[in-house]
Amino acid sequence: MTSLFDPLKIGDIQLANRIVMAPLTRNRSPGAVPNTLNAAYYEQRASAGLLITEATAISHQGQGYADVPGLYKPEALEGWKEVTDAVHKAGGKIVVQMWHVGRISHDTLQPNGGKPVAPSAIRAKSKTYLVNADGSGSFAETSEPRALERTELPGIIEDYRRAARAAIDAGFDGVEIHAANGYLIDQFLRSGSNTRTDDYGGSIENRARLLFEVVDAITAEIGAGRTAIRISPVTPANDAFDPNPQPLFTHVVEGLARYGLAYIHIIEGATGGARDHQQGDAPFDYAALRAAYKAAGGKAAWMVNNGYDRALAIDAVESGRADLVAFGKLFIANPDLVERLKNDTVLNTPDKDTFYGGGARGYTDYPILENVA
């Protein structure tokens, strides 16, 4: 019987176990540049089968929160090289989550104070994180976006390609395309945020066009075996909504089946909330989604996420429902989570007050087992 603690090869990446650290925004990279503190944070958690970095902007335009890292500055790539070197020295594997936030941004974070961009000029009922003049952090309403011109889309696709190449050159084992949680690609997918009338709006096929063009560009640049993607079929995060998500995401996974991706990362339910959350009239059928992917010839590892504890994760892998399980908050507080899960031992409790912004406290100072009294 397959175990949560067994090794697994995903695409071109060999993993020591099936426990994954989910991407976690921590707002500790001032100027969009990763630093030594970030390297220590990831190195501490390198016993995970796979580390997925916090969401990382592919361009200045793709930036939506203060003090989150990027892939578009030489100094940021140097910072990421320090991170990947530290993780590899500790025996771990790490991929970067590639991010364009779209409308989930603020004028003050955009190039020249411009408006955030989106498929349509619909303001999200959401907030972003800003740093105040005194250095403190706070949440603010997102700014009104402008609709992207069709002629701008090839440039965004090129930003994804260029960032993927930069990530591999910086030592990452692969990339995860962030197509979830109400950010740019997800905004194009959903009818609640995409009211375009050109060939990127209207039908499901049109709304999914940008996603597949991004996957095409990245896999052509770095190979499908080092490329993965994250989707969130029913999450309401960042004002994401579609009244009929089952056919939409069935089309998405059937299209993804033609690539030899490393993995597909599924957020089940509402991100950070109820696992049984639904949009539209019927509960979402995740088993049917995976069956549709397999029926279309898909071979990528299937990663599940949201609210998993030890028992649920073990069952997901042993039953064959998933190949990998991603943990978020538990990894914030437990850098040695793999050992704690394997031994079924006590878990540290995360300090919510230090999730966003700050320094080492609540970031790199959680105790490991040998240091727990």
Mean pLDDT, rounded, of the chain: 97
Q: By residue range, what is the domain housing residue 342?
A: 8-371
The pLDDT score that the predictor gives to residue 280 is: 87
The pLDDT score that the predictor gives to residue 373 is: 45
Domain assignment present for residue 181? The answer is yes
| Tokens found for residue 181 | 């949680």
Domain assignment present for residue 3? The answer is no
The pLDDT score that the predictor gives to residue 24 is: 98
Say if CB 213 and CB 248 are below 8 A apart. Answer: no
Say if CB 111 and CB 61 are below 8 A apart. Answer: yes
Domain assignment present for residue 209? The answer is yes
Read off the pLDDT of residues 285-325 as tens digits, 9 standing for 90 and up. 999 999 999 999 999 999 999 999 999 999 999 999 999 99
Domain assignment present for residue 267? The answer is yes
Query: Could you list the active site residues?
Result: 183
Domain assignment present for residue 2? The answer is no
The pLDDT score that the predictor gives to residue 251 is: 98
The mean pLDDT of 78-97, rounded to a whole number, is 98
The mean pLDDT of 6-27, rounded to a whole number, is 98
**What are the C-alpha distances in Å from 100 to residues 57, 120, 271, 357?**
6, 15, 18, 20
Domain assignment present for residue 119? The answer is yes
The mean pLDDT of 234-249, rounded to a whole number, is 97
Read off the pLDDT of residues 180-232 as tens digits, 9 standing for 90 and up. 999 999 999 999 999 999 999 999 999 999 999 999 999 999 999 999 999 99
Amino acid code (one letter) for 357: G
Which CATH number goes with the domain that contains 110? Answer: 3.20.20.70
| Tokens found for residue 115 | 């408006």
The pLDDT score that the predictor gives to residue 371 is: 61
With a pLDDT cut of 70, the percent of the chain lying above it is 99
Say if CB 190 and CB 236 are below 8 A apart. Answer: no
* pLDDT higher than 60, residue 372: no
More confident residue, 136 or 303: 303
| Number of structural domains the chain divides into | 1
The mean pLDDT of 240-244, rounded to a whole number, is 97
Helix (H, G, I), strand (E, B) or coil at 127: strand
* pLDDT higher than 50, residue 345: yes
Domain assignment present for residue 1? The answer is no
